[in-house]
Structure 1
Amino acid sequence: MKFSVCVEALFSGKDFYESLKTVKDLGLDNIEFWSWWNKDIKRIKHEVDSLGLNVAAFCTGFISLTDPQKRDEYVEFLKKSIEVAKELGCKFLISQVGDELEGVSREDQHNSIVDGLKVCAPMLEEEGITLVIEPLNTHVNHKGYYLYSSHEAFEIVDKVGSGNVKVLYDIYHQQIMEGNLISTIRNNIDKIGYFHAAGNPGRNELYYGEINYMEVLKAIRETGYNGYIGLEYFPKDDVKKGLEMLKNL
């Protein structure tokens, strides 16, 4: 199990490229970020290679999968994201699925997501890249977003039927929406390709709030999961202090 630093969250408002150096100085080797299309990919490649960092994940375009009329646009952007991932040696792409559509049944939107991901699966399999779809909370941060249930996300992954399409289980978001974290993780670890973590409430360091991360991370380790835990929080304390506390987890 490896920690990955979400650069735009932990270093919000700071220079992206300078922050890469800080991550390495603080003793971590894996980074992730949100959007690639507003960044200099060649510079990122140069910086991570020079520093010995690994790009664990980044997002593909925020294009709706709930709307079948936007499917072609989603697929074309994913193709571009895959090329960027190959350039950076990145094996995970993060995808949101879009907002809930007014006047359209949830069943139809669910089926649209499944059908769209089935189109994407062969190209992901060919390139050895895993797309992780992310359920988000709709109470605090993402009102109107379609996919708030981890269980629906697991159902979608089952229907797509590809080892290269999995769920990004964000512990912060799912604590807000569902709770029952450890049981859900244990029962569905085969469908989880990536984790995100933040304290709740507040979305700060893991040692703030109601989530017992010592027990949650212990349970994840016990499943045999050896992938990434993405640190996607907004620091309340000095970044160094927050990252040093990870040694206790």
Structure 2
Amino acid sequence: MNIIDRLAINTAIFDGHDLKISLKTIKSLGVKKVEFAFNQGYVGQLDRDMFSENHANYLLSLLEKEGLTTDALGCTMNLAAPNAIEEFKLRIRFANKLGVTYLNTCTGPIGERHTIVQNLKELAPYAEEHGCVICIENGGDHNFNAFVSAEDGVRILGEVGHSALALNFDPGNSVSLAPNLSPAEEAKFALPFCRHFHVKDVLVHDDKFTFPTLGEGIINYKPIIEAINNRNLSFSIEKPLRMSRRKDTFPVRGRSPESIEIITKVLDDSISHIRQLAEEA
């Protein structure tokens, strides 16, 4: 399978735009898959209606109209929150209705790591019953520092010990939360444990982190794309273009959305970079 056939576009990059326009744009880029983004705190407020059967059916109708598919859902939330089990089970049922296999989520704060692990022990079998895999993701800010390094993630997998729990690694998050570690080396360590993967590049400024076109940041994606290609791994461009991170890692959402023209250019150039790296491998 061509590597672009396994690539999805995460809809966080379209934050603030109509979903119909977003999907038409994805189709125009020659990509066949979508990762819907329902990440708490990153794309505006979420309510339970967003995870209803009616909303799932609506999203499926939009996908069908554009000839697109989905196999992953971005649904980061604090897995140690008081209502985390109930809320994440809602997301699992929603994913099942969408026909999604992979639920990508960051974890929560390190101080609540024990609760996160215990909750995952209950959630993983529930995910399996619904044909899903929970893919925990390394955090990009201190709200989600229970999983910082690839080793942190693998340790959680070992403690939970269930086949419906895997990793969704994001080298871009390593830049802000694990600045002393090599994103490429971290990805290499994580990949055997991944069922899904996020790609985004990062630029480090004096006071913030931003997310440029793939290949224009500081991450060496050549070995990463080669490994993704060899493993036939599903992956997505997860680039919250409207968002930046302060120097202390915490996210800042821009007041207005990026234009569709800029989004399209960034995605088109990023896809071309992925294709080029895969061909060079």
TM interval, short-chain normalised: 0.7 to 0.9
Alpha-carbon shift at residue 188 of structure 1 (Å) = 3.6
Among residues 108, 115, 129, which one is paired with 1:98 in the alignment?
Answer: 108
Change in 2 beyond 3 A, CA 1:143/1:159: closer
Secondary structure in 2 matching 1:20: helix
The match for 2:31 is 28
Secondary structure in 2 matching 1:205: coil
Q: Is the 8 A contact 1:200 1:209 kept in 2?
A: yes
Q: Distance in 2 between matches of 1:78 and 1:245?
A: 35
Secondary structure in 2 matching 1:208: coil
Q: Distance in 2 between matches of 1:64 and 1:121?
A: 12
Superposed CA deviations along residues 147-200 of structure 1, whole A, max 9, x for unmatched, are 223211110011111121112110111244153344433344332222111112
Count, aligned residues = 230
2:188 equivalent to 1:180 = no
Q: Distance in 1 between matches of 2:142 and 2:139?
A: 9
Secondary structure in 1 matching 2:167: strand
2:84 equivalent to 1:74 = yes
The match for 1:103 is none
Among residues 103, 127, 142, which one is paired with 2:130 in the alignment?
Answer: 127
Secondary structure in 2 matching 1:204: coil
Change in 2 beyond 3 A, CA 1:144/1:50: closer
Q: Is the 8 A contact 2:201 2:219 kept in 1?
A: yes
2:15 equivalent to 1:5 = no
Secondary structure in 2 matching 1:123: helix
Note the 1:1-249 alignment, pairs <5 A: 1=3, 2-9=6-13, 11-35=14-38, 37=48, 39=50, 40-60=55-75, 62-65=77-80, 70=82, 73-100=83-110, 106=111, 109-137=112-140, 142-147=141-146, 148-176=148-176, 177=178, 178-201=180-203, 202-221=210-229, 224-233=230-239, 234=241, 238=265, 239-249=267-277
Over the matched positions of the two proteins, sequence identity in percent amounts to 22
Alpha-carbon shift at residue 208 of structure 1 (Å) = 0.8
Structure 1: runs of 5 or more not aligned:
101-105
RMSD over aligned CA atoms reads: 2.3
Q: Is the 8 A contact 1:8 1:16 kept in 2?
A: no
The match for 2:206 is none
Change in 2 beyond 3 A, CA 1:8/1:188: closer
Q: Report the residue type matching 1:160 in the other structure.
A: V
Alpha-carbon shift at residue 13 of structure 1 (Å) = 2.8
TM-score for the superposition, normalised by structure 2: 0.73
Change in 2 beyond 3 A, CA 1:247/1:15: same
Alpha-carbon shift at residue 82 of structure 1 (Å) = 1.8
Structure 2: runs of 5 or more not aligned:
39-45, 204-209, 242-261
Secondary structure in 1 matching 2:231: coil
Alpha-carbon shift at residue 130 of structure 1 (Å) = 0.6
